[in-house]
Amino acid sequence: MTLTASSPTAAVLIIGDEILSGRTADTNLNTIARFLQALGIDLKEARTVGDVPAQIVGALNALRAAHDYVFTTGGIGPTHDDITADCVAEAFGVPLREHPEALAILGRRYGDDFNAARRRMARVPEGGTLIANPVSDAPGFQVENVFVMAGVPKIMTAMLEDVAPRLRTGSVVHSRTLRVVGVGEGAVAATLSDAAQAERRLSFGSYPFGAGSDGEMGANLVVRGRDEALLDEAVARLKAALAEIGVQTVEV
């Protein structure tokens, strides 16, 4: 898809052995993807790495150099396997320090139980600012273009509220979906390809459903773009072209 030059780009870095072992199914990527979509920010790639410093630092440095924003999830709790803050500090080449505001927040939450492990959660790379955690208080943090968030989905989602106002937004990408039922996507592929060739300012995708013997078969044809008038025209033309080859569609 052709994008306006001013659309910010982003990447997601998911950190945690539990994702790669299969113990936990990540849901944060989809939450962040939808969040960015609504802000007109183009999510370009995502990576998942284990609790391995070299992997985290390497991926973070690659992603923060290539994109306007990087969002990380996971590894900011109190236990020894929570090493994200250490790795972010290393990636930026800055010291990791106890952040006074984070210390105050955690001190209030834990009172007499504010032990050394919990104190780890106050450590922020120098120059970082806090990201509020309205669920369980322990903050995330931002260093330059990197937003470091919790892995627990409920907390991560809540942190996005504090992240949103800090982001430069782009023009939103709109989408229209034409659903084709009763024929496979191979039956509409040529028509869809012609439509894509004819209007290169939009993206045209095809997502089959119901493969196999059970249930109805078909495909969702998704057209995406920033210009809604252009989008509506292209969808109308595609719908007409499909009708010409005998394929009925429903806009969903």
Please, what is the minimum distance in Å from the beta carbon of residue 122 to its own copies? 12
Interface with its own copies, residue 49, by CB under 8 A = yes
Contact 10, 43 (CB under 8 A): yes
Among 17, 68, 86, 232, binds its own copies (CB under 8 A): 17
Least Å from the CB of residue 38 to its own copies: 9
- 131-190 positions binding its own copies, by CB under 8 A: 135-136, 152, 154-155, 173, 175, 184-190
* Binding-site size, its own copies (CB under 8 A): 72
Query: Which position has the token pair 């320090």?
Result: 97
Q: Which of residues 206-235 bind its own copies (CB under 8 A)?
A: 206-209, 211-212, 222, 224
Which part of the chain contacts its own copies (CB under 8 A), choosing from 93-101, 108-116, 122-130, 229-237?
108-116
Q: Are the C-beta atoms of residues 249 and 178 closer than 8 Å to each other?
A: yes
Cβ proximity to its own copies, 10 vs 96, nearer residue: 10
Q: How far apart are CA 202 and CA 195, in angstroms?
A: 10
- Cα 74 to Cα 2, 14, 64, 79, 176, distances in angstroms: 33, 7, 17, 12, 34
Closest CA to 16 of 140, 150, 147, 118: 150
C-alpha–C-alpha distance, residues 156 and 148, integer Å: 9
CB of 133 to its own copies, least distance (A): 9
Residue 126 or 198 having the CB closest to its own copies: 198
